Structure 1
């Protein structure tokens, strides 16, 4: 993972709402966008904005089922990000 990707993911995780959304998605695989809105009491436009940023960073995948979107954690990207952070800061 290159430094630009690491920074993009770090910026996505720096927002507390996005962090909470990612936490919600990680504990409930295939959660719908509507369920995220209800679980976190955030407006639909705000959730859509945050989901787009998380998706652009590669942290989540959104699969469309008709008019609904099902969100899931992209484990491979998250694991790669964590390994890259370890290499940078822990020199492993």
Structure 2
């Protein structure tokens, strides 16, 4: 796991406004104008949050006419949640297993 990259993504989604945007998008694709109705900030502020989520790969954007439509990027979220589970729950991919397998392989090479 790339801890620096994962930490950066966590920081992006821990913003309460971005969490709410992700929650809204979990219901399906939304126009920026419809997302904006749920907040007390301006359209440029929404654009900033959406661009941040887009750059992190959490949302997809498509332009239709003058409006942007946003949806969750399911592939990115699936990978993100897999890494989250790997971080908090014992699995075949946990760091202890990786280090144990590395040591075992090194021992085989030396014998």
Which TM bucket (shorter chain)?
A: 0.7 to 0.9
CA RMSD for the aligned pairs? Answer: 1.5
**Displacement over 6 Å in runs of 4+:** none
**For residue 65 of structure 1, what is the aligned residue in structure 2?**
64
The total of aligned residue pairs comes to 91
Q: TM-score, normalised by structure 1?
A: 0.88
Q: Is the radius of gyration larger for structure 1 or structure 2?
A: 2
CA deviations over 1:44-76 (Å, ceiling 9, x no partner): 111111001110110000101121100001111
Q: Distance in 1 between matches of 2:9 and 2:81?
A: 10
Structure 1 gaps of 5+ residues are: none
Tell me which of the two structures has the higher relative contact order, counting C-alpha pairs closer than 8 angstroms and 6 or more residues apart.
Answer: 1
Structure 2 gaps of 5+ residues are: 92-111
Contact map agreement 1:32 1:68 (CA 8 A) in 2: yes
